Amino acid sequence: MPAPLIAFRGITKSFEATRALVGVDVEIEPGSVHALVGENGAGKSTLGKILAGVHAFDAGTLELDGVAVQFDSPRAAMKAGITIVAQEIALVGPRTVVENVYLGLEDRLGPFVRARSLNARFAELVRSTGIDVPADALVDELSIADQQKVEILRALARNSDIIVMDEPTARLATHEAAKLADIVRDLRAQGKTIVYVSHFLDEVLSIADTITVLRDGTVVSTAPAATYDADLLVTQMVGRSVDAAFPDVRARTPGTSPVLSVEKIGTPGMFADITFDVHPGEIVVITGLVGSGRSEVVRAIYGAEPPSTGSARFNGKNIRYRHPKEAVADGMSFIPESRKTEGLFLGFSIADNVGLPHLQSLTQRGLLLARRVNQRVSQALVEVGAKPASPELPVGLLSGGNQQKVLFARALLGKTKLLIADEPTRGVDVAAKRQIYDLLVEHASRGLGILVVSSEMEEVIGLAHRVIVMRKGRIAGQLTDAEISGINIAQLAFGQSESRSGSNTEANQS
């Protein structure tokens, strides 16, 4: 056995009252892909961030090539040849892609950046990695998936010997994730050491040399990847078997009037002629390739980016929302794709985040009723299966899965008639996914209308009463129960089934 390049020995880390890591021992061999897996809150991302200098550990020792080190910043770790592809986007929005990728590494002539040389370096990086993003595009104007690609390119541009990848494929489509896996294998062949944090178990099993399973901040096991399968990983991660990925989706009550109807809504350059209904008790899933206009449609319905044309009717009245607060007042709730940038105030408490849209029912004569807030928020957190220490804890200290559950608690606290959820399980582990699926199915059975955007094929098939497939800003087809399959969805998404009956956007309205 080669000597470890990286050794965590007795590493302990706490965030206020929450113990993220407790006496963790892990050794990582040079030139290998070492995966860290576990439920959200298990400590896998925290361990990776300690190596990358994002967090300092409280106790224990971190050894790099046999020498004890402790990095006080990502810059210090980078000097030691370590960089991180972070789960959360950390780019300079008003700057171009190439400027972000080479920030701090620019070719200069005196005080001036040599743009031609920088562009040539970027073109070679794109050629060698296969990750293609327009060099001169502003980051603010890119999709989240493309921003994730920029994060990966920025890390690779630094030529580090050790790369921490924290959920690098969470925002990528399936074919993009496959390309990244090939890049990781190429980096390993070049002698790079990859610490790979992911909740996609099939991905981990296909790419890792060694896997460490963490649960509740402690190491459950470390072994060669070949000794695991997905079932064993899940059992070790959650401490029990998870028998089925999806709950039984109950049939909706027939004959009910739609809670939401949109007709021929559109916004130039984004989407056009979008027509569909959502009924009480129905889960409708919108899917399609990244960039097909899925998120833009649901944001338009919610009033975040109002459509230019068409009409909509919600809960019995005609609507044309100009601001999300109007949608909230009518009983529409929205869980955005990015919980960090669009969903949560990370420095605020859990109670503040959950109660914010519902202040009218939580105040009396203009004064916030703290006891009522904590009581209702605590009840809502229990109902969604969140496990925070206290409603007063800053939401930024929670794991990704518990942050997502906080968004569900907020969405379901009021008198919601329609829940819109954009990628509701992105960045959460297998156990938390099942809890979210249970939530969606249970509330649908109570008569709530649910509209979901999802990129995960299994999720689309496992949840939906009806599937809307988008392609290039238009509905390529709608699939009802008997028509929902991976083949039918893929054919519509890739434009290979335009003539099938399911592609008629009018014929499948129900």
- pLDDT for the residue numbered 423: 92
Residue 177: the pLDDT is 80
215-244 residue pLDDT tens:
889 999 999 999 999 888 878 887 765 555
Q: Facing residues of 223 across strands?
A: 211
Q: 421-466: per-residue pLDDT in tens?
A: 999 988 777 778 888 999 999 999 999 999 999 988 888 989 999 9
CATH (residue range 6-238): 3.40.50.300
- With contact defined as beta carbons under 8 Å apart, do 32 and 81 qualify? no
> Does residue 382 contact residue 350 with C-beta atoms inside 8 Å?
no
Whole-prediction pTM: 0.63
User: Is the Cβ–Cβ distance between 301 and 260 less than 8 Å?
Assistant: yes
Domain(s) of CATH 3.40.50.300: residues in the chain: 6-238, 260-331+415-503
**pLDDT for residue 87 is more than 80:** no
List of residues 6+ apart from 244 with CB closer than 8 A = 434
- Mean pLDDT of the region 257-270: 95
288 beta partners: 470
Q: Residue 135, class by beta-carbon neighbours within 10 Å (0-12 exposed, 13-18 middle, 19+ buried)?
A: middle
Instruction: Return the pLDDT at 509.
Output: 39
The band of 504, judged by pLDDT with boundaries at 50, 70 and 90, is very low
Q: Is domain 260-331+415-503 classified as CATH 3.40.50.300? A: yes
Amino acid at 500: R
Residue 501 has pLDDT above 70, yes or no: no
Q: In the prediction, which pLDDT does 224 show?
A: 97
Per-residue pLDDT tens for 169-184?
876 767 778 888 888 9
pLDDT at 361 over 70: no
Provide the residue type at 135 as one letter: A
**HEC sequence for 358-424:** HHHHHEECCEECHHHHHHHHHHHHHHHCCCCCCCCCEHHHCCHHHHHHHHHHHHHHCCCCEEEEECC
Q: Which residues are CB-contacts of 44 (< 8 A; sequence separation ≥ 6)?
A: 36, 37, 38, 197, 214
CB 437 within 8 A of CB 424: no
Question: Which residues have CB under 8 Å from 221's CB, separation 6+?
Answer: 212, 213, 236
Distance CA 238, CA 434 (A): 12
Q: How far is CA 269 from CA 20, 293, 472, 473, in A?
A: 45, 10, 10, 8
In 217-306, which ranges are E strands?
A: 218-224, 260-267, 271-278, 283-288
- pLDDT tens digits, 310-353: 999 999 999 999 999 899 999 999 999 888 788 898 888 888 88
Give yes or no for residue 502 having a pLDDT over 80. no
Region 372-391: what's the mean pLDDT? Answer: 79
280, 448 in Cβ contact below 8 A? yes
Dihedral angle of Cα 130, 133, 135, 136, to the nearest 10 degrees = 170
Distance CA 509, CA 284 (A): 11
Contact 42, 217 (CB under 8 A): yes
Q: Cα dist. 193→9, 157, 190, 208, 319 in Å?
A: 19, 15, 9, 11, 54
Sheet holding 162-166, edge to edge: 82-85, 162-166, 193-197, 33-37, 210-215, 218-224
Q: Closest by alpha carbon to 54, among 81, 78, 22, 18?
A: 78
- What is the average pLDDT score of the chain? 86
**Paired tokens of 347:** 């420095």
**pLDDT for 69 beyond 90:** yes
Amino acid identity of residue 119, one-letter, is N
Q: Is the distance from CB of 411 to CB of 333 less than 8 angstroms? A: yes
